[in-house]
Amino acid sequence: MKSTSKYKNLLIVESPAKAKTINKYLGTDYKVMATVGHVIDLPKSKLGVDVDNGYEPLFETIYGKGKILKDLKKAVPKDGHVYLAMDPDREGEAIAWHVKDFLKAKNVKRVTFHEITKDAVLESIKNPSVVNEDLVEAQKARRVLDRLFGYKLSELLWKKIWFGLSAGRVQSVALRLVVEREEDIEMFKPEEYWEFFVKVKKVKEKLVIKLIRKDGKKYIPKSKEEVEDIQKSLGKSDYKVVDVVKKEIKKNPYPPYTTSTLQQSANNVLGYSAKRTMALAQRLYQAGHITYMRTDSVYLGQKAVDEIRKVILSKYGTEYLPESPRFFKNRSKNAQEAHEAIRPTDFSLDLNGIKGKLGNDESRLYSLIWKRAVSSQMKEKRVENLSIYFEPVDRLKNLYTFSVGAQKILFDGFRALYGNSKEESEILQEISNVKKDDTFEKEEFVTEQKFTQPPARYTEASLVKKLESLGIGRPSTYATIISTIQAREYVTKDGKFLLPTDIGRVVTHFLKKNFGDLVDYKYTANVEDKLDDIAMGKVEYIPFLDGQYKPLIKDIEKAREGVNKDDVVILGDSDEKCPECESSMVIRLGRYGKFLSCSRFPECKGMNDLDGKDDNLDFEKYLKVEECPKCGSKMLLKNSKYGKFWACEKYPECKGTVSLLLNENCPECGKPLVERRSKWGKMFKGCSGYPECKYIKKEVKKE
């Protein structure tokens, strides 16, 4: 039954928020409806790919989306047009294709909005196109490939490690990066080195000069003995200025944001995760405040450049405005010039103008985007680097060269938009009056022992940067990759740093040993390139999937036959004896961490906790529970998915357990306090007598 409403055209988007914004720009001739995301996908409970019939995906309606599809079909106007206005990427193209296939309507047109403004929406509707079959094919290939890899590998992980584990094509490579970085840190051997300074003076001028060269070559002392030899060699010598070097340096502004650089900046500056950043950016886009947030292009359209130059002129003046606009080169070889970088749609709305319209988090992200886009078209920052070089006056066996430097800002340029940075606000030594051949008297030596540091753990920002540099993933996938490896509990967070869990390490080593290509960086990047080639009509769907799937199945069959489960989950030997049969014990990885297991398992099921030993617990902070509240037996510290707890030694006969209690009593009922996590993930201290006592300790904010 067709709709009898007055509207002539139906415009379909994914998001109700996007629909609401677009509806403001269209008259009564249009009805705007939303699919609320994907409506058709592969089934959840089975493979859903007919491997023997050209890798045909067995798509089905997503649970709960049947009514939405029926409503869309009812809303199709009898003689009007249907506009499919899903997001301008492969995923949006695939949704548009699914909706078109379901509706079976005439006069179906494809429109895309790189920004949701009135002009952009009306212009796009005036110039509709058709669904791009190549983009749909590329998205279908990615979806099918990820399903084949994930489904088949997960089945193997269940058999060789334990049930419930999963592996993904791109996520496994990201996990490998985190695991290998942690192993590099663990294997790192710090090396000693020393920094050698001399405090010198000349009348009122006092400087601290640093040793940088020995006999014309870069030199860093490696031991205390070397430092003492240098001190002995230098003695009481004065120091003469042998060179004064002034050099002007220009620092160009950064290009406007792409998806990956926005995620990196939001993580570094605002502390937002990649997933949170994309959710906030999605809201800004759907509300019409920024251009589309999934892009790897740094291109700015002429209209945007003209608006930015007007803002610079009005806010900062002609001295900050370059004679001609800046253009930036795209690093991504597949970046589409038609797609702009992430930028505001209305540059007259800065942070002050947007605050009342947005929440605090959206405002902060918008401000970041506004500043980056505007600053990209400002003049460069100019600084003068002043470097002064000294040598000891006394003729020595070895020639030592010292230096001191300072930086003077000649013109702040684009940095005016950000204010003074930390490095610019540091107090630099006043050396501008020092001239060549000046002689300074030694006051004292200053030395400092240091050690080389291991590579830093990945943060979300640095992991996104690394993935992009390797050509792994695409703008729409970075946030999903990182959130997935955390959701699977392969990676945890320590502050802002990413740490692999024991199971994350085991899965990585298993995949590296048996599926080298799967976690190989070049191979994964090459697959991404092939998917891009499908999107451009250069590579065909079936040959591509054949080339990926058939070798995978061979490796899976080989691992299924050749890998013993114990070789994967047994991490090493132990000196302890089994409490049941006195046999030797091994360190085994279980679902909730490492533990000691009898080497005769499964004949003997004797086990002991490893990670949860008493000596691993801070008893100044936590109470030691001695007796089981049910039977009075000894209590042992155990590990679970949710952390440590006390359990009766007679388990499973007695199932007495006690939470980890704090050495701090509730002021209202006297029972010990416990640490709990709120539904938002924040830790707090509450009474162990909950729900009878609902006391929560208020933490004092640090100044």
d(CA 102, CA 98) in angstroms, rounded, equals 6
Per-residue model confidence (pLDDT) at position 574: 84
pLDDT at 420 over 70: no
Q: For all residues of the chain together, what is the average pLDDT?
A: 89
Per-residue model confidence (pLDDT) at position 379: 96
pLDDT over 70 for what percent of the chain? 93
d(CA 140, CA 90) in angstroms, rounded, equals 9
Q: Give the distance, in angstroms, between the CA of residue 614 and the centroid of all CA atoms in the same chain.
A: 36
Question: Which is nearest to 222 in space by CA: 447, 454, 456, 455?
Answer: 447
d(CA 291, CA 285) in angstroms, rounded, equals 6
pLDDT band at 569 (very low <50, low <70, confident <90, very high): confident
Per-residue model confidence (pLDDT) at position 426: 37
Which neighbouring-strand residues pair with 342? 257
pLDDT band at 253 (very low <50, low <70, confident <90, very high): very high
Q: Which residue pairs from 218-222 have beta carbons closer than 8 angstroms and sit at least 24 positions apart in sequence?
A: 219/400, 220/193, 220/194, 220/195, 221/193, 221/194, 221/196, 222/191, 222/192, 222/193, 222/194
Q: Alpha carbon of 126 to those of 100, 112, 518: distances in Å?
A: 20, 11, 45
pLDDT band at 613 (very low <50, low <70, confident <90, very high): low
Q: Summarize the confidence of residues 484-500 as an average pLDDT.
A: 91
pLDDT band at 684 (very low <50, low <70, confident <90, very high): confident
Write down the architecture of domain 9-131 according to CATH. Answer: 3-Layer(aba) Sandwich (3.40)
Largest CA distance in the chain: 102
DSSP 263-319: HHHIIIII---HHHHHHHHHHHHHTTSBB-S--------HHHHHHHHHHHHHHH-GG
- Which amino acids are annotated catalytic? 292
CATH number belonging to domain 259-375: 1.10.290.10
Please provide residue 603's backbone torsions phi and psi, each rounded to the nearest 5 degrees: -60, -40
Token pair recorded at residue 567:
């070789």
What SS3 class is residue 322?
Answer: coil
pLDDT over 90 for what percent of the chain? 65
d(CA 424, CA 414) in angstroms, rounded, equals 14
Q: Tell me whether residue 585 is exposed, middle or buried, using C-beta atoms within 10 angstroms of its C-beta: 0 to 12, 13 to 18, 19 or more.
A: buried
473 CB-near residues (< 8 Å, 6+ apart): 170, 174, 467, 481, 528
pLDDT band at 5 (very low <50, low <70, confident <90, very high): low
Domain boundaries, the chain: 9-131, 142-187+456-562, 192-250+440-453, 259-375, 569-658, 659-703
Top pLDDT among 555 and 394 is at 555
Angle 645-646-651 from CA coordinates, rounded to 5°: 115
pLDDT at 593 over 80: no
CA atoms within 13 A on the CB side of 84: 26
Write down the architecture of domain 142-187+456-562 according to CATH. Answer: Orthogonal Bundle (1.10)
Query: What pTM was computed for the model?
Result: 0.82
d(CA 297, CA 260) in angstroms, rounded, equals 10
